[in-house]
Structure 1
């Protein structure tokens, strides 16, 4: 198609220079000259040259006018693209809601039918719709590869969201030169997946959006949404929260496993839409690492289990050897450990690397010299925790100074700082002071010391001060680890080990420090976990139970369960990973009219050819206009030569 008025105007304009060419009078001038016999041959040659130039100028004028007419006429060409003229991206919902009975199989069969009519040379790809969209098959792959991968695709355990995946797929299709561009969604239309999609922003023009039918709702769907451990006195209980979205039978069985062994089962009555809870009393005189709660299998098994890692009941303290014949600190800890909710226990000093699950109690010089000093630095760099009783020793002092903490003996002054020394200005808001919040702090004020060391305040967070207001007890971050530094010793020269406040103080510090260990109870599938070193990652419970792999400094959490990490540095940690609970709600997007708003009104199949032809005509028009300008410039230069 072309615009007839513009092309007719162009043809008519071509006749103007032709008419002028033939109607132009040929001037005759008689110039008297003595003799012309020498000039006649040259005049004939010049006349023939001017005739050729004049005809060339005429041709340039006509062609330039014709090109101008064509440029404004904007002809539309309906020829096909050479090579591949089709492109398709299949966006696959990778969330665990697709694990619902028969959902993945039925939607996969539907998606395969949507690409059956495409030619074998079509450019294709598969994009997984998840928190971070990922290409399962890169765009531009053969259609046969896409078909094979669709049959092998299995749903994951993450959240589902369509917004990022649909936009990324549309952008790749927009850049494709293919005539037919198709975006196929293989998903279950879950309300959660559509929530962040902006329906007021349609896909780029020329992209056809193909959506599946909404799948049927599950008959039975029960999710375990939370497991928490409650402590009271010396008793602990695990409370499991349950959300029955759809049930067929009222009675259901919940099983609790402790470190992989079945501990107890309970049967309870469930009603659709009414949340429920069930409590299990944990075994006494045991210190398990993890719990797993599960319920009868239903149409969506991915959320029928939930996991948690337990904080260790017992606090393991590794004490450096005492400088005295009698280890008063160890005796005091052992004698009073049974009175605490989380008992403390003195463990043997390790011969190799210091375990991260221990809290190190540093006293004297031995831990700050030679090989032990290197172990201390590595321990802290892995996030280790320590209590340091600083007595002014040379090695201790140099180590603190190397980390920006200066020290000085507390001096007796005329203002009344006399021996014995006491502590004041306790920071009761510090987490380690929890044992004293609801009790009398007088025992803390009655502590007495013959000698004391003050700490520079620039690199520490004070917990208590000496009478002269210098820092006596403080928290510091050293090499990535946490160290509580006490500017006094815990031996016979102080009343600390004999004071009623000693055990609550040490227990409060140790409990707070050990509580900093990451149990990762709230880790969710789809997230990335940073690890302190390379090591072995083993699944203790869950779909991958028994599977082990070597990991570097981080790992992508793709499946739920309990995992044990054994680092190269000797640490041993447990992590609980659960599926995102909001994904368990399978309600579909009800406003289906919103889907039509995503489809650009000019992106229907019947309009795609016209859209592409319009784009081609625009390109042709610009090239025609540019060539016409070049011809006009050439015509002007040649006409100047013929006018001489």
Structure 2
């Protein structure tokens, strides 16, 4: 077997020394002579004899050239090892580069141990280096011991990151590291052996057959000395007050300082005690202007794991605009909707009431949600504008009233309406019989059962729609639809006292406000992400832009393509997305499980190692129990032989030259 068979073409160069020896010119030597006057002229006859000369020297030169060519072709000698005897080994050195490896002293020990493992790659065995966090990155493909310098250089340059390692994902990825013929795979996991890195199912740690796992523990052995800022968010009950939750070792918090910054300006510096551990600190921020504010809460000075000492969050002071469409802005339905939306304390809606013509003349993208009091008010042009708005990420709530009863289908939604008199049912009041209690806007199922509906528009739910409420006869009362990037609610009865008594119940205000807030939630919620986890940038409601990391370096480009509106943040801090005339921030924090430094106990490690299947069993399953093939590289020995011949050839050449001169 040859690693580089194309080098064998160099054997054609063996013809060169043969040609030189066969056609070498004979140099005539001049000898002094007294006089040629008494010699008769004669015809000079010349002949060239082509014969090989100096056979020993020729053979040496041919052997030298052949050995060099064969060594570069990389010959491998195939042998068979008896069952139970080891062949070559592929040493896969996996270095844990997750955030917890930044703990004081851990990474230095990891690098030293990795260097020792590189030194154990000898003979015909090979070594491979992999960096493992939220992804598996092969830094050095399998190389022989002669190229161990590449492994050492990669280990020296490697640094831990900020994401999380899952041992289950590591084991699943190891399937692709197939050893070569005659090799066994030995996986060296250089890690601090965090307990929180274990998968939910212990069975996910089962290694592929034939893989031998070696746990190289470089951790500190305990979880002491670390504290972190677990959360930082505004108090929902007290606007303007920040809640900061601290977790970790009380001794690591005692005497440290909590620093709170808003947009880079320090708002609070508070001395902490051991009692602050696993507790909540309240910080008064005061009134913040309308807009998006970057909040940082961190502990000073740094502890044994500085990467989790800070927490990043975004505080948005926004007043989402809601457009209410009614036939007359002074009608009851318009006033009911406006009053209900303005009753919500948080978020505080800025409500604007307008007639149907505003749907085609106003920029709907400026509104967090649009409420239409009767679907029959929407003409074709308005339906087109509303459809584009919803599919682009907008939120729409539409009720079906007297005008909608004359339609064949609901605008934008596409839901079909029942024909003839079945559109409006009168007589005995209908009540809600089925209700999706798990939905965020239906928190009071008992209150809905008391609402009387005298009339409603019978609607057939389209494909993909979700029925949230239905009457006794199964007719839907409320539908939820996802259209493109937006959402839509269809309510089959208007806010008219001749149709129902919803408006006189306390439930009405909460329902309208919470439904609108839920619909438009993604349009005013601050964007947040976790290091190492993909972020769907469609939540930013933008067509694209350039993404800059917390250091101000451009990391990726988001285009309008839905598939490209995803990226994976690599470090904590505030990412910025610029484009389209605006700038959006994303608060990125490390995975909280990386701060849990408790190591795997001995029992868990023993159970993990017990899951691996011995190599002999794997070989038996493959039907090769009679012996294991191994490939032994012999290029090194050929090169040594070539070096030896390179010293012998000048000696033989000098010998022939001296004999020729004496002759």
TM-score normalized with structure 1 length? 0.62
Shift of 1:87: 3.7
Q: Distance in 2 between matches of 1:517 and 1:488?
A: 27
Compare 119-128 and 101-110 and name the one that shifted more.
Answer: 119-128
Pick the aligned partner of 1:432 from 438, 441, 454: 441
Pick the aligned partner of 1:536 from 529, 545, 548: 545
- Establish whether residue 553 from structure 1 lines up as the match of residue 557 from structure 2: no
- Establish whether residue 151 from structure 1 lines up as the match of residue 160 from structure 2: no
Compare 492-501 and 162-171 and name the one that shifted more.
Answer: 492-501
Cα deviation 1:593-617 (Å, max 9, x = unaligned): 84987999999xxxxxxx9995359
Measured at CA, do residues 549 and 364 of structure 1 come closer, stay the same or move farther in structure 2, by a change above 3 Å? same
SS of structure 2 residue aligned to 1:527: coil
SS of structure 2 residue aligned to 1:251: coil
Compare 422-431 and 356-365 and name the one that shifted more.
Answer: 422-431
Pick the aligned partner of 1:269 from 267, 273, 277: 273
Cα deviation 1:527-566 (Å, max 9, x = unaligned): 22334376236468xx556756323132234333444667
2:308: which partner in 1?
303
- Establish whether residue 127 from structure 1 lines up as the match of residue 137 from structure 2: no
Contact preservation (8 Å) 1:226, 1:306: yes
Q: What runs of 5+ residues in structure 1 fail to find an aligned partner?
A: 1-73, 604-610, 618-644
SS of structure 2 residue aligned to 1:160: coil
Q: Distance in 2 between matches of 1:341 and 1:261?
A: 28
Contact preservation (8 Å) 1:99, 1:302: yes
Q: Distance in 2 between matches of 1:534 and 1:252?
A: 44
Pick the aligned partner of 2:531 from 507, 525, 532: 525
Q: Distance in 2 between matches of 1:385 and 1:536?
A: 23
Q: Distance in 1 between matches of 2:460 and 2:172?
A: 56
Compare 590-599 and 289-298 and name the one that shifted more.
Answer: 590-599
How many residue pairs end up in the alignment?
515
1:341: which partner in 2?
345
C-alpha RMSD of the superposition: 5.3
- Establish whether residue 384 from structure 1 lines up as the match of residue 397 from structure 2: no
Shift of 1:146: 3.0
1:226: which partner in 2?
231
Shift of 1:317: 0.7
- Establish whether residue 240 from structure 1 lines up as the match of residue 244 from structure 2: yes
Measured at CA, do residues 287 and 89 of structure 1 come closer, stay the same or move farther in structure 2, by a change above 3 Å? same
Shift of 1:281: 3.8
SS of structure 2 residue aligned to 1:148: helix
Pick the aligned partner of 2:92 from 89, 92, 112: 89
- Establish whether residue 591 from structure 1 lines up as the match of residue 608 from structure 2: no
The 5 A counterparts of 1:97-496 are: 97-116=100-119, 118=121, 123-139=126-142, 143-162=148-167, 164-165=169-170, 168-169=173-174, 172=177, 175-177=179-181, 183-193=187-197, 209=214, 211=216, 213-215=218-220, 220-232=225-237, 235=239, 237-245=241-249, 247=251, 250-258=254-262, 261-270=265-274, 274-284=277-287, 286=289, 289=292, 291-296=295-300, 297-309=302-314, 314-320=319-325, 322-324=326-328, 326=330, 339-342=343-346, 343-346=348-351, 354-355=364-365, 358-362=368-372, 368-370=379-381, 372-391=382-401, 392=403, 397-400=408-411, 403-407=414-418, 416=427, 424-425=431-432, 429=437, 431-432=440-441, 434=443, 453-456=457-460, 461=467, 463=469, 473-479=477-483, 481-487=486-492
Measured at CA, do residues 508 and 555 of structure 1 come closer, stay the same or move farther in structure 2, by a change above 3 Å? same
Shift of 1:358: 0.6
TM-score normalized with structure 2 length? 0.61
Shift of 1:361: 1.6
Measured at CA, do residues 455 and 87 of structure 1 come closer, stay the same or move farther in structure 2, by a change above 3 Å? closer
Q: Distance in 2 between matches of 1:205 and 1:561?
A: 42
Q: Distance in 1 between matches of 2:235 and 2:164?
A: 29
Shift of 1:470: 8.4
SS of structure 2 residue aligned to 1:184: strand
Contact preservation (8 Å) 1:92, 1:187: yes
Cα deviation 1:349-397 (Å, max 9, x = unaligned): 6878744971112356675523x54443343335532111334359974
2:8: which partner in 1?
none
Q: What runs of 5+ residues in structure 2 fail to find an aligned partner?
A: 1-79, 559-563, 617-623, 631-663
Cα deviation 1:29-60 (Å, max 9, x = unaligned): xxxxxxxxxxxxxxxxxxxxxxxxxxxxxxxx
Measured at CA, do residues 188 and 438 of structure 1 come closer, stay the same or move farther in structure 2, by a change above 3 Å? same
Measured at CA, do residues 129 and 613 of structure 1 come closer, stay the same or move farther in structure 2, by a change above 3 Å? farther
The 5 A counterparts of 1:496-507 are: 503-507=509-513
